Amino acid sequence: MREGITVTDAITKNGAGRYLCPLCLNWFTDLDDLSLEHAPPASIGGRHTAVTCRDCNSRSGHTVDAELRRAETLYEFGSRSMTKPMSATAHYGDVEQRSEIIFGPEGLSIAGVAKQNHPDTAAAVTEVLQAAAGSKDWSMTLSLRTPDFRKAAIAWLRAAYLVAFATLGYLYVLLGELEPVREQIRDPDAEILSRYCLVTSSSAAERRIVSVKEPHDLASVAVLVGSRAILLPSPTAPGTYERLAALDPWPPPGERTLSGEVAAWPTRPAYALDRIALLK
């Protein structure tokens, strides 16, 4: 936070010893109004990356970040790689049971949640299973809550924005082309941006930032997290989202190689563009 104050005091006339939240662009003097941000969210393995105001942190935590965790859990269910349980409703014939499930390499585990079910539910489930023992004409159904995948994508956009801020600094996020990104993060119910995420062939552990130069139609700041590349406006090639909007079809077919300058994943704000400007 102190470094951020030093930077903004040097590059703006409005700092006066205050901290500028990179998300809402409001100034703060009280440390209690600020919080450490995880990017991506801590629930999917993110680490502290930047400092934002508490309002920006808590608002997204209860909305888009929660949907991202649900979407990632559903992906883990589909790939049989779950390590933590998810909520589901199991239907054994006419008997319904609120449950927690894990689907991993060893198979499917279903456990009823006593506090969420009628006291007689467990006995009813046991009775159904005993009656079905040895029968091939029997089925069980699981109902899972469908995540809001669009809000989950906005959570990735938010995480990428914070990573780009931590890497490049205030002179980057204060570019005019970043305002639609902030607007989309502030209002996840609105459809402000629709083209900003690509699926890649990278490994699950991949985390890096690329200032994409080629191909030109994808020139951007690409934040790579696992199999996703979130595309943010380029500070050197204006019009990133206009170029993406002109692509037909979307996403681009076939394989595209993103090439450009690569930066390491930040463990704390580096303010790279700010420091370069201050050295001039």
- Examine the domain organization and report whether 42 and 90 are in the same domain: no
Residue that finishes a domain, picked among 143, 172, 202: 143
For residues 76 and 151, what is the distance between their CA atoms, to the nearest angstrom? Answer: 18
Domain hosting residue 11, numbered range = 2-67+149-279
18-70 per-position pLDDT tens digit: 999 999 999 999 999 999 999 999 888 889 999 999 999 998 888 899 999 99
Residue that finishes a domain, picked among 101, 122, 143: 143
Decide if 89 contacts 99 (C-beta within 8 A). Answer: yes
196-234 per-position pLDDT tens digit: 999 998 887 889 999 999 999 999 999 999 889 999 999
- Examine the domain organization and report whether 134 and 248 are in the same domain: no
Phi, psi of 189 (to 5 degrees): -80, -20
Decide if 233 contacts 175 (C-beta within 8 A). Answer: yes
Helix axes 2-11, 272-279, angle to 10 degrees: 50
- Examine the domain organization and report whether 131 and 269 are in the same domain: no
User: Is the pTM of the predicted complex or chain greater than 0.85?
Assistant: yes
Residue that finishes a domain, picked among 124, 143, 162: 143
- Examine the domain organization and report whether 109 and 132 are in the same domain: yes
Decide if 92 contacts 57 (C-beta within 8 A). Answer: no
- Examine the domain organization and report whether 158 and 116 are in the same domain: no
- Examine the domain organization and report whether 139 and 159 are in the same domain: no
What is the count of structural domains for the chain?
A: 2
- Examine the domain organization and report whether 62 and 188 are in the same domain: yes
